A = this chain, B = another copy of it.
Amino acid sequence: MLKGVITVMLQPNVLDVQGQAVEGALKHLGFESVEQVRIGRQIEMILPTEDHEAARLQLSEMGKKLLANPVIEDFQIDIKEA
């Protein structure tokens, strides 16, 4: 079994208003030095296979078809032993 992790972030050129709100809140709490806060989603799942290449291909398809919006988001794939 493998653990697949897909991390979806807004593309760098897309304004991240949620990140800006969190940055404001962090500064307000005393973390004045934080910069460029950006917020994304992490989707974890178990894949009942030992084939890393097949898992990567499947995760990439999931990202393209469902988990990320290709117009404004990028995603990244990590595979670990479950």
Q: How many residues on A have C-beta within 8 angstroms of the other chain's C-beta atoms?
A: 32
> Does chain B have a CB within 8 A of A29?
yes
Pick from B22, B34, B43, B49: contact of A37, CB under 8 Å = B43
Pick from A9, A25, A45, A62 the residue with the most CB of B within 10 Å: A45
Measured in the bound complex, the distance between the Cα atoms of B39 and A41 in whole Å is 7
| Residues from chain B with Cβ under 8 Å of A19 in the complex | 43
Neighbouring B residues of A7 by C-beta, 8 Å: 42
CB pair A41–B42 under 8 Å, yes or no, is yes
Closest 4 CB pairs of A and B: A35-B46, A37-B45, A40-B42, A36-B46
Cross-chain pairs A/B with CB under 8 angstroms, 27 sampled: A19-B43, A22-B66, A22-B67, A23-B45, A26-B62, A26-B66, A29-B65, A29-B66, A31-B58, A31-B61, A33-B47, A34-B46, A34-B47, A34-B62, A35-B46, A35-B47, A36-B44, A36-B46, A38-B43, A38-B44, A39-B41, A39-B42, A39-B44, A40-B41, A40-B42, A40-B44, A42-B42
